[in-house]
Structure 1
Amino acid sequence: MGDIANTLAIKRWWQFRQNKSVWADFLKAKYCPRMHPVGKKWQPGNSQAWKHLLWARDKSEYCIQWNINSGSCSFWWDNWTKTGPLAHTWSSFINKNNYRAKVQDFIVNQRWNAHKIYKAIPSQLALHIMSIEIGNEDTEDYAIWSPTEDGNYSNSSSWNLIRKNRYVDNFINKIWHKAIPFKMPFICWRMFSSKLPFPRAWNNANASTQDRIYCVCCHDPQLESMQYVMVEGKAADCLWKAMGGPLGLIHQHSPIRSIFSNWWNTKPENKIHILMLQATPVLICWEIWKSWTSCKYGDKNKFYHYKMVNQLLMRRGQMYAKKVESLRHKIRCNPVHWEKPATGMVKLNTDGSFFTNTRKAGIGGVVRDEARDLIFAFSVLVNCSSNNQAEAAAVNYGINW
């Protein structure tokens, strides 16, 4: 919402600079009676609306460029050189006699007054100004919005001008899935952001024995850390192997991020397999987290490995059942039609059948020309021992005819 409000503030500044409304004339008369708006500073007592407008000026004024016609724009404060207002880079050349100068003061007979320009500004800038084309003297100078190709203002261009593009972590985005309850990937997001309440600083080598915290997931407690509880502990090792073993995934004591990547980078076979590879690591971390919090803050005193495995299988089964129910058979219809032979040729179509119980076989076929006219047809009982022999006998009979 803040970016939207700032975008509209830039739009108001653009309208203000165009000077095509009573509102713009009122603001200039109230806040800038003796000073150009580009050089005006906010002062105590000015309204918040004017303060926000000046913020928009600082963000967008360099995007407002002026095309020279009659030279009515400000020489020092308007961006008519396409390099920014001259007052921002050459303020030392401004004095009380020329700070209100207009561009038309440096134009004589639709040409630049070289002598006056070289006297007012440095020579390297004067060369650039002399190369600027002068338009029709009967037309007022007009502003263009440089971020767009046609020079007209658009909210989308100012939005792109001020919005803050945040870094998108595609790895984090993969933990979210519509088939997984929100609370489960949310815990994984906190885990990858190091925002779970696992001790880090206290379990270092310099900490005393009393200050160290030991895990509750093993019969032989070890120093507690997120890596140990989620990956290396007895309970975690049991869950990762039980869920990944049938899928051909070997559990290693790698960083948790690498384990997730190993699951997600496995080549899937179908849509159910895709869901299984994406969701199972999230479910495993959820079960470990739930048991850890029950032992840490609840009434449990140990992890029940087999119960955790059963819970995982049940959750995964429910998820896959919903996915399977949403699948629909894809019906494909392949049209089959008879294609006529080339001119001067005929086509033979045959078929054969064999009944295993009665050991009887029958063959049949038709012959047609390029006009689809029937030339010959046959239906004959034969002696065969299989369906393939019946098919071959039908072709042989038609060819010999």
Structure 2
Amino acid sequence: MLEARDVIEKDIWWETRNGSANFWYDNWTKLGPIADLMLTNFPVDETIQYVEDMMINGQWNLSKLQRTVPEDLVEHITHSFNRDTIDQSIDKAWWMLNANGKFTVSSAWEKIRCCSQPQQETLEHIFLTGDYAAAMWKVFTDAAGIQGPFVQVKQAVKKWWDAKCSAKLKPLLGKIKYPWMKDILGSWPHLVNYLESYKPQISYILVHWSSPLQGWYKCNSDGASKGNPGPISAAFCVRDSLRDFIYASTRRVGDTSCLVAEAKAMYDGLVYCVTNQLLPLYFESDSLSLVKMVEGEWDVPWSISLEVYNIIEWRRKGVIHIGYVMREGNQLADFLTNHIFSFAGTLCFENFMELPAAAKRLVNIDKMQMPSFRFKPVFARELD
């Protein structure tokens, strides 16, 4: 258990709120315990116990940090862990092996597990021949009356498809929600032929950028990631009720996930609009997940908890409505997030003439209210 603790503790992140986490031995920097990162010329100062010992009125004591830890750690701490308001609640522990930050035994076991006969983690080993995969297959194949052995994943799928269902599973497989599946014959070649000739029905809707009410401003934001996780960018643009361009900014952020990019873009846009008194404000993002989190309808994952906290605090500083828009109605911000990957740092556009030609075209398209099409397949379903 003690050996497992040393492995697992590094995957618990302590989100800094009032600074109650242990400065040296808790993982509050997302880099692991600071004590493990210290150089020989920076000994651990045991008189410093908590993160709050490095703060003055909720802000970092920069001179004390510089005397205590190496410069690269100082830069990481001051740039990555700032709150715009003081929070008196205790520091919160997040389980980093799950996106929602909640501990599960399965994720901890996955971290420390090992096979009795370790092999290269091929598709077959992970899903068929590994100890736990083989045990799971045995449970379900015994219940369904399907006999192995299973050597390849595609062979296992074919056996399940061709098998005559056991009496135990007939009630479960009797309800077919997709009527087109009734037309498929039982053999694998017929299935392949059917899918190759299948033509789905397509529906579409018209989408366009809509101008805010008279006297209001609108800010659109977007984030992009090349790889998810990978290099990310964040961008926002502001226009008024006459659909005139006011300001836009786009920047490279680092390497992380697309959701982090979306959150940073929304934060950047809110700070700019509130600071420059571009209020009342209607704010749009094409990340439905982020909008639901900011509205309090969905749980916030640990990876953007700090960004969402700051977004909510800045939102309280003015008349601000935050809503969702489809990507087709967010084309200018979407263009800017990808445009910055050809550069480094930050690009700011303070008037229409400074925009790239492609961005000018998008502004004019939105101003003329020209729609875009969003297509999606239609799947017919039988009612239960």
TM-score above 0.5, yes or no = no
Structure number with bigger Rg: 1
TM-score under structure 2 normalisation? 0.30
TM-score under structure 1 normalisation? 0.29
Structure having the higher strand fraction is 2
